[in-house]
Structure 1
Amino acid sequence: MAAASGTNDLSSEMELDAFRRLFPLRFHERHLLESIRPDGRPLGRARDTSLSFGAVASANGSALAKIGCTTMLAAIKLEVMTPTVEAPDEGCIAIDFHMPPICSPLIRPGKPAEVAPVISKQLSDTILRSGMIDLKELCLVSGKAAWMAYLDIYCLDADGALFDAALLSAVAAFSHLQIPVVSLNDDGRIVLVSEENGGSMKEKEPVNKEKIKLKMSSQPFSLTCILHKNYILADPTSEEESIMETYLTVVLDTNYQLASLNKPGGPGLASTSSIQDCIVLARKRVKELQQILGEAISDMEVD
């Protein structure tokens, strides 16, 4: 009897998996009727999220962010540049988002993912407009030298809500960033001072004598929601995104104020009440992300 029961269970699982593959929308809508999702989450709950710092030893700042299975690796590399005439007291930030074939079976080698430049632009707009980074803090010598911060974000696993995870990894990487020790040499050029030669190097004029952490304010966080009929699903998986085409990304700052709304496409229109409900969910999510980031920073400082 036990063997027969096990066979029936296996048969039922295979039938359920076949139904899910053949009729994915109907499969998900059956769960929506019960206000639950296939992974067991309530409709308004985001997936488990984690952060770790220092994932790239050669970078000036780096972080690994995971939201469910969606995984982002962010790394910042600093280089000295000549500031522009229009902004002689400011440095610059350049952001690139990468989706290598390892992140999804839908990404083919040699063919860039169409969504990658879209997310790069969205990340740049969000971070620069948020005021999180004061570009004046990246200035070394007015009109002569400033830092160019190259932020590269690599998607290691693309399982939905890519922008949310990418933005979280970017904020975390800047939280981990340390500006190197530099000085002016006899030729008047900016040079890095390593720990090995710091004691013996003759400085013409010190620029900063110790590594500096950036002061950040108004950090942006986001939550993507799917709008399907009368349902709102927070933090969708890639499967949910592929079958429910109307979704909305809400970006809030650390004061829970609305920074931006982005509706990347889809046939549906978002009603005012739906948008308001998404903002309410986003405020709860921002509180969660602030706590996760704060705990990760505390653990880093202890180590």
Structure 2
Amino acid sequence: MSSANASGDLSSEMKVDAFRCLFPLRFHERHLLQSTHPDARKLRKARDTTLALGVVAFADGSALAKIGCTTMLAAIKMEVMTPTTESPDEGCIAIDFDMHPICSPLVRPGKPANTSPVISKQLSDTILSSGMIYFKELSLVSGKSAWMAYLDVYCLDVDGALFDTALLAPVAAFSHLQILVVSLNDDGRVIVVSEEDGGKLKCEPVNKGKRKLKLSSVPFSLTCILHKNYMLADLTAEEESIMETLVTVVLDSSFQLVSLYKPGGLVLAYTSAILLQDCIALTQQSVKELQKVLNEAISEMEGD
């Protein structure tokens, strides 16, 4: 009897899988009628988010971020540069985003992913427009030297929420960043001071010790899909591939709107515009949760 039940269950599962492959939109719309994702989450419920700081030993700041199965590694390396004549009292950042073939079967070896330059530009636009970094803090000697922060973001695994995770990782990495001690040598050039050299300096250090970079208006994002009269939050890659109107809302830590991305899809109708307002409200709740996850990761790192 149990063998017959097992056989029946297997047959039923095979039918469900076949239906899901042949008619993916219909399969997902059946779940919409039950107000759930196929993974049993409520439509507006985000997946679990985890953060780990200081994961790259030789980076000045680093973090590993996961939303669901989507995983991003962000690492920051600081170097001394000559500031521009237009901004003699400011440092700057350079951002690079990379998707390796290991992250998705859609990314082929030797061929850059189509989404890489799009995500890279979104990251640059978001970080710069949010005002998260006060670039004057990166200045060392006015008109002569300043910090250049090289931020590299590596996508290790993709299952939806690509930009949300790609933004969370560098936000966490900048929260972990330690700015190094530097001094002026006899030629007036800036040199990085190691811990061993701290007591042997002829000249006073430009900054007295390693310090955190002060951040403000920290941006967080939530990606939703507006489908008919439904709004779904934190989509998997499968859900994103079959539903059209995708919207990413970026808010800062004060819940001010930083940006809103809507790549392609349908023109928003009146009902979708109402759902968009719901999406912004839901993003506010998501910001609170992400701030909590980030604060817990910082506390755990400082405790260690």
Q: CA deviation at 1:264?
A: 1.2
Aligned to 1:285: 286
Q: CA deviation at 1:205?
A: 3.3
Aligned to 1:299: 300
Q: Secondary structure at the match of 2:255?
A: coil
Aligned to 2:265: 266
Aligned to 2:251: 252
Aligned to 1:193: 193
Contact 1:161 1:237 in 2 (8 A): yes
Q: CA deviation at 1:245?
A: 1.8
CA distance in 1, matches of 2:88, 2:299: 35
Aligned to 1:12: 12
Aligned to 1:77: 77
Contact 2:78 2:149 in 1 (8 A): yes
Provide the identity percentage: 74
CA distance in 2, matches of 1:260, 1:74: 22
Correspondences of 1:134-149 after superposition (within 5 Å): 134-149=134-149
CA distance in 1, matches of 2:202, 2:184: 6
In structure 2, give the amino acid aligned to 1:73. L
CA distance in 1, matches of 2:156, 2:298: 23
In structure 2, give the amino acid aligned to 1:207. V
In structure 1, give the amino acid aligned to 2:247. L
Contact 1:185 1:205 in 2 (8 A): no
Q: Does 1:66 align with 2:66?
A: yes
Q: How many residues align?
A: 302
Contact 2:224 2:233 in 1 (8 A): yes
CA distance in 1, matches of 2:111, 2:267: 30
CA distance in 1, matches of 2:202, 2:115: 47
Contact 1:183 1:203 in 2 (8 A): no
CA distance in 1, matches of 2:144, 2:178: 21
Aligned to 1:100: 100
Report which stretch shifted further, 162-171 or 204-213.
204-213
Gap runs ≥5 in structure 1: none
Q: Secondary structure at the match of 1:207?
A: coil
Q: Deviations over 1:175-227 (max 9, x none)?
A: 00000111111111111111122223x23232012101001111000000011
Aligned to 2:225: 226
CA distance in 2, matches of 1:231, 1:173: 35
Report which stretch shifted further, 38-47 or 269-278.
269-278
Q: CA deviation at 1:269?
A: 2.4
Aligned to 2:208: 209
Contact 1:43 1:232 in 2 (8 A): yes
In structure 2, give the amino acid aligned to 1:19. F
In structure 1, give the amino acid aligned to 2:268. L
CA distance in 2, matches of 1:78, 1:195: 16
Q: CA deviation at 1:266?
A: 1.6
Aligned to 2:242: 243
- Stretches of 4+ moved more than 6 A in 1? none
Report which stretch shifted further, 274-283 or 202-211.
202-211
Q: CA deviation at 1:272?
A: 2.4
Q: Secondary structure at the match of 1:205?
A: coil
Report which stretch shifted further, 263-272 or 92-101.
263-272
Aligned to 1:132: 132
CA distance in 1, matches of 2:235, 2:206: 47
CA distance in 1, matches of 2:116, 2:264: 15
Q: TM-score, normalised by structure 2?
A: 0.97
Q: Secondary structure at the match of 2:235?
A: coil
In structure 2, give the amino acid aligned to 1:154. Y
Gap runs ≥5 in structure 2: none
Q: Secondary structure at the match of 2:232?
A: strand
Aligned to 1:44: 44
In structure 2, give the amino acid aligned to 1:251. V
Q: TM-score, normalised by structure 1?
A: 0.98
Q: Does 1:169 align with 2:169?
A: yes
Q: CA deviation at 1:23?
A: 1.0
CA distance in 2, matches of 1:145, 1:117: 30
CA distance in 2, matches of 1:181, 1:112: 37
CA distance in 2, matches of 1:47, 1:221: 15
Please give the root-mean-square deviation of Cα atoms over the aligned residues, in Å.
1.0
